[in-house]
Amino acid sequence: MPRRASSALATTLCATLLTGVAACGGEPANEPGDKTVMLYSGRNETLVKPILDKFTQATGIKIKARYGTTAQMAAQLAEEGERSPAEVFLSQDAGALGAVNKKGLLAGLPAEVTAKVPEAYRAKDGNWVGVTARSRALVYNPKLIAKEQLPKSVFDLADPRWAGKIAIAPTNASFQTFVTAVRVQHGEQKAKEFFTALKTNNPQIRENNIAIVEDVDAGKVPAGLVNHYYLGEIAKERGTTPEKLNAKLHFFAAGDTGAMVNVSGLGVLRRSANDPDVRTLVDYLLGPEAQQYFTQQTFEYPLASGAPAPSYVPPLAELKAPAIDLNDLESLEQSIALIKETGLTP
């Protein structure tokens, strides 16, 4: 399953661990003296395993990994609590890290670790840190929408003139986090009004962001809400560059919720706060090899080690993200409930 969309491969919270450890038990992750780190990953195996393999080759430390969606891994950690064999949680978004941290499961990271990442992209209490960043954007086909017709704000998509012209993926984690951002920045009432209006505009529903970008590129739908990196992924699969695709990116106006910047990130479970192998993994993911990998292979913004941004997007420092504290994006359950209430999902 070569795409991020395949992160839904874990259909139950109690799936068998890929390494053979019982999924729902509290057995120790490692044998005494075993140079192994137990990782719960909300990021797709195909996406992160190559860099984890490079880590093992470089350090001799093995990774026992359990993969699922970020929501599934966060829920499993909450269910297992202190019994969890997990040592590191690698999350697709800040909201899940915040939710796990709220349960008191994450340890404080050393200041020299968190200092590698800009303050906006790490926990206030130092209990999680961003690894990569991604911006929300509107992907559009200029053959179907003229540049001068593009919306300045994501809230413009509630206008009837956009009826049937926008594709969304309401069951996707990135869309759900966007819903949370609207709720956090503008309140529950405005969020409900906007997503109700969006539903009235008959949006075209897709399973994931990849499907949205492919259909926009093919001219099947004029535009859609996605994260920026999917253009890079599709271009790579086709052996071309993002600039040569029909689909283009439009970034919303400065401060608009549609321009939010989220992170993938990690937290260390309290039981492993002083484990030197865990620290080695954390340092590696924030180091130059891993940061360059994420830039070149997954087309995300690096947050540490000075790796450059992908060539087809503005530098991270130039993005005018809304004033949303990523630490406040933990209320995922309320966002899912709002999506259902407004009829965007059954």
pLDDT score, position 172: 86
Reported confidence tier of residue 26, pLDDT bands at 50, 70, 90? very low
Q: What's the pLDDT tens digit per position in 28-78?
A: 445 555 799 999 999 989 999 999 999 999 999 999 999 998 889 999 999
- pLDDT tens digit string along 294-340? 999 999 999 997 888 899 999 998 998 998 989 888 887 899 999 99
Annotated binding site: 229-230
| pLDDT of 332 | 79
pLDDT of residue 95: 87
Provide the whole-model pTM: 0.85
Task: Report the distance separating Cα 98 and Cα 104, nearest Å.
Answer: 10
Contacts of 249 (CB under 8 A, 6+ apart): 137, 138, 139, 228, 231, 312, 313
Long-range contacts, stretch 74-78, CB < 8 angstroms, 24+ apart: 74/42, 74/99, 74/100, 75/13, 76/13, 76/14, 76/23, 76/24, 76/40, 77/40, 77/103, 77/105, 77/269, 78/103, 78/105
Q: Domains in the chain, ordered, with CATH?
A: 4-133+262-315 (3.40.190.10), 134-260+330-341 (3.40.190.10)
Secondary structure class of 248 (helix, strand, coil): strand
pLDDT of residue 217: 98
Question: Taking each helix axis from N to C terminus, what angle separates 173-186 and 94-102, rounded to the nearest 10 degrees?
Answer: 70
Which residue positions form the known binding site for Fe cation? 229-230
Average pLDDT, the chain: 90
pLDDT in the model for residue 227: 96
Q: Tell me: the pLDDT tens digits for 232-291?
A: 999 999 999 999 999 999 999 999 999 999 999 999 999 999 999 999 999 999 999 999
